Amino acid sequence: MVLEVALFDVRPGAEQAFAQAYAQARPLLAQSEGCRSVRMTQGVETPTRFVLLVEWDSLDAHELFRASPRFGEWRALVAPHFATPPLVEHYQDL
């Protein structure tokens, strides 16, 4: 299992629109093969900052999603609200 930690900074004022786009886009991610769980959170100190936590069976499972047509649909929904390119890294439990 690998944990994807993705940091999204959205444009000020776009928080609600991003949340709505995410609600629409979520199934594209959550229903992907090898996706175990999806959790989107919004910053308390920095409300324009969102952290997405996704548990994947493996790095390959995430790569297969990224190479799928569904990833393009996901990005088309959420990316218009980004202020900067997302920061995405993978982690493993200690």
What is the binding site for a copy of itself (CB under 8 A)? 2-3, 5, 19, 22-23, 39-46, 49-51, 53, 59, 89-94
Cβ distance to a copy of itself smaller for residue 45 or 69: 45
Report in angstroms how near the CB of residue 68 gets to a copy of itself at its nearest: 21
Residue 48: count of CB within 10 angstroms of its CB: 17
Cβ distance to a copy of itself smaller for residue 58 or 69: 58
Residue 6 to residue 61: CA distance in whole angstroms: 16
Cβ distance to a copy of itself smaller for residue 6 or 79: 6
12: DSSP letter? T
User: What distance, in Å, lies between the first and last C-alpha atoms of the chain?
Assistant: 12
